[in-house]
Amino acid sequence: MSFIPRGRFPTTRLRRLRSAPWRRALVREIVLQPADLIQPMFVVEGTQTAAPIAAMPGVSRLTIDLAVSAAQEARDAGIPAIALFPAVETLLKDATGSEALNPDSLVCRAVRAIKGAVPDIGVITDVALDPYTSHGHDGIVDGGDVANDATVAVLARQAVLLAAAGSDVVAPSDMMDGRIGAVRRALDAAGHADTMVLSYAVKYASAFYGPFRDAVGSRGRLGAGGGPADKRTYQMDIANRDEALREASFDVEEGADLLMVKPAGTSLDIISDLKRAYALPIVGYQVSGEYAAIAAAAALGAFDRVTAMRESLTVIKRAGASAVISYAATEVARTLTADVVAVRQ
């Protein structure tokens, strides 16, 4: 049981702890640092091209050469890892997502280029089929729904290819049952025992993913090719809390190294639950819609963009996240580093 100090006003005045910047810094319980942040990036074919994403102010799809530069900038800002998501050309998409098994795919080439140029930054890659399927689902559609076991078999092969390309962490985001165990076994059998598995343990069927689907080109595809009109048969119901613990427990047993919760900003209770329940690092994903909402409000003058971004990320960490994925990671990290320098001076 925690000790609760007792005191009464006027002997006890809690404002004493807040009355000056140094006092607030001295007793601050949660300190957001660049090392807590992960920068996601969207990669596209081509060279020297940054294509802005309308729904995500400040975020662009980057060709591999520019993604390498962005990775260097993230590293220089103190960020330890990036997460890559491919925007695959339409002509390469098909019903089974076969391009995901191409060892020379866009994302595999991006991984090799980034690890070659910035070897000291961690690279996380998404394990899912939605960027590659013509119907936009995270797996193989069969009989009007996404076939769990057939999809898992493909995901395990995809994870091995990504690890072979140099990915340090593979992150199954599909929400199929049993995929963490299958991916772990496949990695170990292929000689990639050191490759970490970041499980999207709790991924809700959220409206906040909309801008991401624009970024990777999957919006509007759901329902095509005989598949479901949404992802609710495999992503979690946002109303469920206890189920999140069950989902995470399976992934822990199957060998996940880290657990992810998304959307993080609307799932602070879940992050807190998992932190108390499991001795694994928890990663919160501030998803595209959460980022876009803050960016849009700031553009309208509602508040300062960086201050609001920092607050939102600090709160996710306060809930129990060891790390936070955010499209504002590098931007925020630079301000955190500048703060440290200013204090030292």
User: One of 203, 231, 275, 317 is an active-site residue; which one?
Assistant: 203
Closest CA to 229 of 136, 96, 151, 140: 136
Q: Are strands 37-44 and 323-325 parallel, antiparallel or unpaired?
A: parallel
CA angle at 42 for the pair 71 and 330, rounded to the nearest 5°: 40
User: One of 93, 115, 231, 262 is an active-site residue; which one?
Assistant: 262
**275 in catalytic set:** no
* Other C-beta atoms lying within 10 Å of the C-beta of residue 194: 9
8 Å CB contact between 299 and 280? no
Distance between CA atoms of 229 and 224, rounded to whole angstroms? Answer: 8
Alpha helices in 21-124 (DSSP H): 21-27, 64-76, 106-117
Q: Is 73 left (phi over 0), alpha (psi -120 to 50) or beta?
A: alpha
Tokens 């960020």, residue? 79
**Which residues are 318's β-sheet partners?**
none
**203 in catalytic set:** yes
Long-range contacts of the stretch 183-186 (C-beta < 8 A, 24+): 183/127, 183/155, 183/156, 183/159, 184/254, 184/255, 184/256, 185/156, 186/156, 186/157, 186/159, 186/160
Provide CB contacts within 8 A for 315, sequence distance 6+: 265, 268
So which residues are the catalytic ones? 203, 262
